[in-house]
Chains A and B, each alone.
Chain A
C-alpha cells in the first residue's frame, strides 16, 4: 500500500442516506476474477441509462467529478453486501476519502484496507459541508484526524490507532498478523479443531 498523505480536494456530493454497495457496484460486475477495471462500473446503474449512455444528471458525469478525491454522501454509507469491489471501484475512480455521518461496519473495514479513508463527522458539520454546494474544497489531515471545511472550520474525525498507523506508513494488516505466528500456533495447540472439512 502507498503511504496515505494529507491532501486538499474538491468534493463530489451524493446527498442520499443508506447508499448500499449494490449501488456502488451492481452484482453483475462481480463476475470478474480481477481487482482492476471496476471504476468503469462505479455507480453504474445511476451513472448510465438503459442504453449505456451517461446520465447527465448524475454527479459522476458532471464537470469536476474526474480528479476529485473526496466523496460526500448521507448517513450509513456502504450498507448491504460485503463486496470489497465497492472500495476498489471508488479508489480506482480516484477517491481517497468518503465523508458521511456514519458507515456500515463491513464497508468501513474494507475501505481502511484499501487506503480509502471513511471520515465520519457530526451531523452539523455534515450539513455545513452539504450546504457549501458544488465545487467545495476540503482538506484531509489523517495524522491530526481533521477535515477542514470550506469555511475554514476544522472538524475532528475518529480513526483507530492501528488503522491510522497502517495507512500513514503504507503497511497492510496481513504482515502484522503473520508476525503473530507463534501466538496462533499456541492457540491451535490449546484448542483442537472440532471439524475436519476435508473428511
Chain B
C-alpha cells in the first residue's frame, strides 16, 4: 500500500546506487528568465545540449513590465535578461512563450492552462511555487539554478525521497471563506518550517469540493509551509479541467491516460509520516500580519503580544515583525488603513480569482486612498476576462487593469510599494521588502483584497457580501 507521493516517486526512478541519491526523471521542465541564464551559460561552458527540448518550455514573467507592451522596456538590465531568455531558447531549441507571445503568462498559470501539467508527472522549475502543479496529482517542486542546468542537460535530478505529510481538510467552507484561507490557516498552524523535508498530500471533503484553480491556490503555497511539494490526487474535477486543453492527450491516448491516472490516488490504508486535520466549517477569512506567511490569523483575531511568548528567538522574531509592520501587539488588524491592493500572482491571478474580485467590486468604487492593481496571470486569463467584461468592472471601480506577469508579488519590474506603505495582496509572501523595500504586506484572499479595496481598511469580507 502506497501513497500517491510514493507512487509518483517509484514511477520516476531512473537509477539507484548505494550511498548516492536517486536519479529521478523529470517529465516537464518550466523555465523563466530569472533563474535560467546561469544554467544555460553552464551548458555552454561544458559544451552540452538540452536533452529534451520537447519536455521543456519557457516564458517571461518575473522581470517583465505589466504596462503597455508596445513600448520598449525602460529597465535596461531587465530588458537584457529578457533578451537573453529568447537567445538561450532559440540557441538550445526550446519553445519560448516570450513577452510578445499570445500565450505568455506566469509560468505556474500557463503550464496548467496549456494542458502541459498532467497527473502522474514530475514537474520542476527554478521557482519555489512550482508546487502549484501538484494540484493535478503531479510531483512538482522548485529547484535552484544548478539543478535547472542538470535537468536541461539530462532531464534528471538527484533527489532524496521526502517524508509524506497528510493534510486532511473536511467540512464545508462558509461564504467568504476560500481556498486561500485554507492554506493560510494551515501555514499559521504548522509554521513556515512545519513541512520541511516533507511533501503534503491535501485530502478530505473540503479539498474534493475545490475547483482546479482553487486547488492550485492551495498547492501553490505548500512551500510557505516548508514543503517543497504539495499535491492533490486527481479526480473527475481534474480530468474535466484537462480534457480538450491544447497539450492534453486526445482520442485513444486520452483513454489510456485516464486509466493510468485513475490508479494514482493513495491506496486505502497507506500510512503517512505525519498528518494534520483542519475543520473547514470552523475556518474564517485569514490574513497575515507579520513578515512571513506563518504569521497569520483569522481576520477577526487580535495580533499576538510578544510579552506572552516564552521562547526568546520566537519572541524576538514577532517583536521584529510587528516593528517592521508598524503594528502593536494585542490590537486587532481589522480597520487598519491600507495604501495598495494587489490582485494577482501565481497564487491568485486565474480567471476565478478575477471573477471573485470583480463580483464584489461590480457597482462599487474603491477607496480614493487606495491604489488597486489587477494583474491577470496570463494572456489567456486576460482574454477570458475581457470576454466576460471584467476589465470594465475593474476600471469603473477605480482599479488598474494591467498586463500579465508576476508584478508586485516579487516587485522586480517596478511594480512596488513605497517604503512604509501597506498592501493587502493576494500573493504568497509577506517577507520584509518583498513587495518593495520598506513595504508592508498583508496576505489574503481575492475576496478580502477586494473588500478592503472598497473600504480602504483591512476588512472582513463577510460584512460586505
CB distance from A188 to the nearest CB of B (A): 8
What is the 8 Å Cβ interface bit string for chain A, positions 153-184, against chain B (1 contact, 0 not)?
A: 00000001110010000001110111011011
Q: A16-B313, A22-B432 are in contact. Are A31 and B150 (CB under 8 A)?
A: no
Tell whether B147 is near chain A: CB-to-CB under 8 Å.
yes
Interface residues of B in 106-143 (CB under 8 A from A): 116, 118, 121, 126-128, 142-143
Do the beta carbons of A109 and B144 come within 8 Å of each other?
yes
Residues of chain A within 8 A of B126, CB atoms compared: 82, 84
Residues of chain B within 8 A of A17, CB atoms compared: 313-314, 317
Interface residues of A in 185-199 (CB under 8 A from B): 187-188, 191, 193-199
CB distance from B37 to the nearest CB of A (A): 4
Q: A75-B313, A113-B144 are in contact. Are A28 and B57 (CB under 8 A)?
A: no
Interface residues of A in 1-47 (CB under 8 A from B): 15-18, 20, 22-23, 26-28, 30-35, 45
Q: A82-B142, A162-B21 are in contact. Are A16 and B316 (CB under 8 A)?
A: yes
Residues of chain B within 8 A of A34, CB atoms compared: 37-38
Tell whether B411 is near chain A: CB-to-CB under 8 Å.
yes
Do the beta carbons of A174 and B149 come within 8 Å of each other?
yes
Residues of chain B within 8 A of A91, CB atoms compared: none
* One of B37, B153, B192, B249 near A79 (C-beta < 8 A): B192
| Residues of A within 8 A of B (CB-CB), count | 60
Q: A162-B20, A174-B149, A178-B153 are in contact. Are A22 and B142 (CB under 8 A)?
A: no
Tell whether A148 is near chain B: CB-to-CB under 8 Å.
no
Do the beta carbons of A194 and B27 come within 8 Å of each other?
yes
Interface residues of B in 10-52 (CB under 8 A from A): 14-15, 19-21, 23, 25, 27-28, 34-35, 37-38, 41, 46, 48, 51-52
Residues of chain A within 8 A of B412, CB atoms compared: 27-28, 30-31
What is the 8 Å Cβ interface bit string for chain A, positions 109-144, against chain B (1 contact, 0 not)?
A: 110011000000000000000000000000000000
CB distance from B40 to the nearest CB of A (A): 9
How far apart sit A20 and B321, CA to CA, in the bound complex (Å)? 13
* One of B46, B128, B437 near A45 (C-beta < 8 A): B437
Tell whether A81 is near chain B: CB-to-CB under 8 Å.
yes
How far apart sit A76 and B52, CA to CA, in the bound complex (Å)? 35
Residue on A with the closest CB to B419? Answer: A50
Residues of chain B within 8 A of A149, CB atoms compared: none
Residue on B with the closest CB to A164? Answer: B19
| Residues of B within 8 A of A (CB-CB), count | 83
Residue on A with the closest CB to B118? Answer: A194
Residue on B with the closest CB to A75? Answer: B193
Interface residues of A in 51-94 (CB under 8 A from B): 74-76, 79-84
Residues of chain A within 8 A of B155, CB atoms compared: 184, 188
Do the beta carbons of A195 and B411 come within 8 Å of each other?
no
Do the beta carbons of A174 and B154 come within 8 Å of each other?
yes
Which of B74-82, B354-362, B393-401, B447-455 makes up part of the contact surface?
B74-82
What is the 8 Å Cβ interface bit string for chain B, positions 212-235, against chain A (1 contact, 0 not)?
A: 000000000001101010000000
How far apart sit A198 and B118, CA to CA, in the bound complex (Å)? 16
Residue on A with the closest CB to B43? Answer: A174
Do the beta carbons of B14 and A80 come within 8 Å of each other?
no
How far apart sit A24 and B19, CA to CA, in the bound complex (Å)? 32
Tell whether B63 is near chain A: CB-to-CB under 8 Å.
yes
Q: A23-B432, A31-B78, A79-B192 are in contact. Are A195 and B154 (CB under 8 A)?
A: no
Residues of chain A within 8 A of B81, CB atoms compared: 31-33
Do the beta carbons of B313 and A160 come within 8 Å of each other?
no
CB distance from A118 to the nearest CB of B (A): 12
Tell whether B278 is near chain A: CB-to-CB under 8 Å.
no
* One of B23, B56, B160, B317 near A183 (C-beta < 8 A): B23
* One of B56, B127, B150, B294 near A82 (C-beta < 8 A): B127
How far apart sit A160 and B159, CA to CA, in the bound complex (Å)? 12
Residues of chain B within 8 A of A22, CB atoms compared: 429, 431-434
How far apart sit A93 and B38, CA to CA, in the bound complex (Å)? 19
Do the beta carbons of A198 and B54 come within 8 Å of each other?
yes
Residues of chain A within 8 A of B434, CB atoms compared: 22, 27
Residues of chain A within 8 A of B127, CB atoms compared: 81-82
Do the beta carbons of B128 and A197 come within 8 Å of each other?
no
Shortest 4 CB-CB contacts between residues of A and residues of B: A76-B193, A33-B37, A110-B144, A84-B144
Q: Which B positions have Cβ atoms within 8 angstroms of A?
A: 14-15, 19-21, 23, 25, 27-28, 34-35, 37-38, 41, 46, 48, 51-57, 62-63, 75, 77-78, 80-81, 84, 93, 95, 116, 118, 121, 126-128, 142-147, 149-150, 153-156, 158, 160, 162, 192-193, 196-197, 223-224, 226, 228, 247, 249, 257, 292, 294, 313-314, 316-317, 320, 410-412, 419, 429, 431-434, 437-438
**11 CB < 8 A contacts A-B:** A18-B192, A22-B429, A22-B432, A31-B81, A81-B429, A82-B35, A160-B160, A162-B21, A165-B19, A196-B54, A197-B56
Contacts A17-B313, A22-B432, A22-B434 aside, 6 further interface pairs with beta carbons under 8 A come to: A27-B410, A76-B196, A80-B429, A110-B144, A194-B27, A194-B118
